[in-house]
Structure 1
Amino acid sequence: MSPIEQIIKNESVEDVVSYFALFRSAQAVDRMYGRHRQEIILNGELVKTYNSLFSDGVLASDENGKTVKGPNWKTPQFITENKYS
């Protein structure tokens, strides 16, 4: 199992999106879930999570529309623990 697949299957949608949205497009994150946890897309959880992360200040958009860290962003635990490297 690839590290991406392990992350998608084992970590919360909030943690995965808050990290990967900083350097991957929404479409790329959608494809990751489509490949490994399609039910997250089908039940609308992925879109709801994106929207809540922006409204909660975890993610923000810069002047060019790029997703950046919001004022409430925290490094997900799976990253600080170096869990999948």
Structure 2
Amino acid sequence: MRFSLQSLIFALVAVLALFSSAASSQEFSPKELQLLQILSRNRRLASDATEGRWKRGDLERFRTSMEILNRNRCFFNPISC
């Protein structure tokens, strides 16, 4: 089974979110924020005309990922939610 670099980074973010001991469920650690910023960067397309734009569905996938991270954080650390 092959994993892309982006999926491995996202898995690392998920693990960090699960074991994070942050006081608030709405705040992420600086390392989590850095990884989320890397994940949220749009992918460059080959065409110069579309360079720098979001691909169709990227924003929805990112929002869904953030919702999953928040749900997991609240499940494993309900005191902070």
TM bucket normalised to smaller: 0.3 to 0.5
TM-score (norm 1): 0.37
TM-score (norm 2): 0.38
More helix by share: 2
Relative contact order, CA 8 A, sep 6+: which one is greater?
Answer: 2
